[in-house]
Chains A and B, each alone.
Chain A
């Protein structure tokens, strides 16, 4: 019974990580790829960690701690890559919908040039 649960968790987690890899190949621009590469694997790794914590005797606490730390650090890393990419030049960003940040950045540039 426990084995089945562990198996399901590991396979589900691995599938999410696999899908993330496919997403990185298929999506067109940096942000879409980041959504695939940084988010879905977080849940995938969490599932694999939970499975590991159930299946492996000893070290359970370390595995859960590792999962917790991934959950704390992943969004910060994603935020900084995203923020830097918007400001960097020469990075293709395709947006289908509105870009509310563009106005803000232009306002900032105007304010800077007026100083």
Chain B
């Protein structure tokens, strides 16, 4: 099922790139997509799960963060330097698959003012550089919220069970 979705998506991108939905483009796109999907399927692990409502929540929270922090960084640029307070902060996560960590790290890096520098397993921790960290717990809270939303949207059952929603229990182990 997910393979079919991938083939359709890749073919759609192929046709978009040519800007011409002709039969020839459709067929060449299909052949390429099947080859690419078959090739990469051999080294793929885990299944893709999408819970639509939770996925919309994740996208909404991400968009909100994106716009809000874009404005904050824009304001930082035009106001005096005292708004800059950089630091590298370790943010522990409660544990999820590689694909989800990638998603969370990418979401952080896309959000202005925060940048994922390093990822460590055992215990799963993101090292985030932030432009303004007078509020370290606030930063951690944003990352943790992204994780909770990402796992509820795309995580498998194991990740969902291992998910710690309460922040205090995550910090205690460190």
Contact = CB atoms under 8 A, between A and B. Distances in A.
Interface of A: 15-16, 19-20, 22-23, 26-29, 31-32, 34-36, 39-40, 42-43, 58-59, 61-62, 65, 71, 74-76, 78-79, 82-83, 86, 94-102, 104
A109 to B, nearest CB: 14
Contacts of B16: 61-62, 65
Nearest to A42: B110
A70 B10 CA distance: 17
Given A16-B70, A39-B112, A65-B16, A83 B86 contact: no
B19 A58 contact: yes
B17 A97 contact: no
A82 B129 contact: yes
Nearest to B120: A104
Contact of A79 (B77, B89, B105, B113): B105
B117 A86 contact: yes
Nearest to B84: A32
A58 B70 CA distance: 30
Contact of B88 (A27, A39, A98): A98
Interface residues of B, number: 40
B66 A43 contact: yes
Contacts of B13: 65
Given A16-B70, A43-B67, A86-B117, A96 B87 contact: yes
Contact of B112 (A40, A61, A79, A97): A40
Contacts of B136: 97-98
Contacts of B90: 100-101, 104
Interface in B101-119: 105-113, 115-118
